[in-house]
Amino acid sequence: MPISFRFLHSLSTAALLAAALPAPARAQSLPLWEVGLGLGVISVPFYRGADAGRSYAFPIPYLKYRGRYLQVDESGLRGKLFTSDRLLLDISVAAGVPVPETSDGTRAGMPNLHPTLEIGPQLEYRLWRTEHRDAAAWLHLPLRAAFSVAWGEFDDQGWVFAPFIEYETRNGGPRGPWKVGIGAGPLFATRGYHDYFYEVLPGQATTVRPEYHADGGYSGSRITFTAQKRYGDWWIGAFARLDNLNGAVFEDSPLVRENYYYAAGLAVSRLLATSRETVEVAANTGSAGRE
């Protein structure tokens, strides 16, 4: 389901405004951990290249942990390597929605596809950061194993490598104005991963849907916009994503009907509990500073 270009323009404008504001660095005491719960909604096609999709609503946990060597926040879980703040190790996680069996359309007569889960390490390297640590550019190198999930069973579906460069800006402290990120990069995956979505077996072939077997390799490119803000005990976040499948090794699959993949989502969470123990945190750290 396509996202509005007005929405993309709003996120881009927010990024420019946030980057233009000065932000002096200072330290403040914050809880070691914070826990909350909320609700998220997302609108996505069934798979990249599909011409149909749906919207979903689901619970959203909110967790922050500000340990010395381990941090957890809206950007994920990460650890500091070799006492260097330029090189970090994350856990990268992604997921795909189930694809239902239908009696008509592109996949008519083909079995449903179970939802997918991707998980693996992500190495991050800081390419640049402002003097006040309120904006930075990062190189992300995530490598994820992919699984289809059905009733607690995990079937191996190959590997995904999705390197990207991300610019993040945040003016003020953790409770300050909007934090905005813009990231872009290519995607690559193994043949098994591509076959899970785009393969047409001999028994599934028709006059308008020929037999097809995908190759491994280039999977297209992606650009993602994110924005988030903390309002007292409330947290709100949003994202918009555009994938370009032109040139992908599976582009000629009969199951690819759209060369552009649009996705958008919104989440709201409320803080429920915090630790009594506090830690000193620089006001302009967070995803931009990665301290």
Task: Give me the pLDDT at residue 280, please.
Answer: 84
The domains of the chain are located at 5-21+29-220+234-282
Residue 114 · residue 98 · CB < 8 Å: yes
Taking CA atoms, 157 is separated from 95, 142, 221, in Å, by 13, 17, 20
Mean pLDDT check: name the lowest of 78-92, 98-112, 151-165: 78-92
- Give yes or no for residue 137 having a pLDDT over 70: yes
- Give yes or no for residue 10 having a pLDDT over 50: no
Q: For residue 32, which of 279, 284, 283, 289 has the smallest C-alpha distance?
A: 279
pLDDT tens for each residue of 30-64: 899 999 999 999 999 999 999 999 999 999 988 99
What is the Cα–Cα distance from 257 to 264, expressed in whole angstroms?
A: 19
Task: Give me the pLDDT at residue 15, please.
Answer: 35
Task: Give me the pLDDT at residue 1, please.
Answer: 39
Residue the block writes with tokens 């709100």: 236
Residue 38 identity (one-letter amino acid): G
Burial class (CB in 10 A: 0-12, 13-18, 19+), 259: middle
Confidence band for 73, pLDDT divided at 50, 70 and 90: confident
Confidence band for 173, pLDDT divided at 50, 70 and 90: low
What is the Cα–Cα distance from 191 to 249, expressed in whole angstroms?
A: 10
What is the Cα–Cα distance from 78 to 84, expressed in whole angstroms?
A: 13
Q: Which residues are CB-neighbours of 59 under 8 A, at least 6 positions away?
A: 37, 38, 39, 40
